[in-house]
Amino acid sequence: MLEQLRSAIRDVPDYPKPGIVFKDISTILNNPELYRASIELMVEPFKGRENLYIAGIEARGFIFGAAMADRLGAAFVPVRKAGKLPWKTRAVSYALEYGEDTLEIHVDAIPEGADVVVVDDLLATGGTVGAVLELLETSKVNVIGVSFLVELEFLEGRKKLGGAPVHSVLKF
């Protein structure tokens, strides 16, 4: 199944800018068998855990994270861009290649001491996920893992994750 998932991912050259080869996962999302398989592989290390929270990063982390939460019987917590959540929030700002961005979670979304898995579709440079880990640290929770469908190993994003256990289904 790993080879089927790998071969289904479409490379889009020069997107979003020249020199970048974008890994398009929409080809997996529109194939029910591959999508189900990707979720099964992403949840594998976390099966059997109780009182688990899945923190999905906007937007593609929602696609995988919500399905993972359902499969694991876990709570789903959206990590959103600034101004998108309607209640009191905790926020973290972080640097991007072209500026700065801010992510937020509700202050009451995850109880202190809870076990959390952070989910996104792809690990590249690790900046966004690193910021989410920083945000969760202020929430005093226990991050038991970070789960991705795809990891671009050559970008060394793991180095920005402070030793958090990383589970990637496919590595390029």
Distance of alpha carbon 79 from alpha carbon 95, whole angstroms? 17
Catalytic residue among 50, 97, 100, 112: 97
Of 88, 39, 91, 48, nearest to 66 by C-alpha is 39
Is residue 60 part of the annotated active site? The answer reads yes
Helices within 17-154 (DSSP H only): 26-29, 32-43, 60-72, 127-138
13-34 core/surface letters (b: 16 or more CB in 10 A; e: else): eeeeeeeeeebebeebbeeeeb
Longest pairwise C-alpha distance within the chain: 45
Is residue 134 part of the annotated active site? The answer reads no
CB atoms within 10 A of CB 118: 27
Catalytic residue among 40, 49, 58, 60: 60
Strand, helix or coil for residue 163: coil
Known catalytic residues?
A: 60, 97
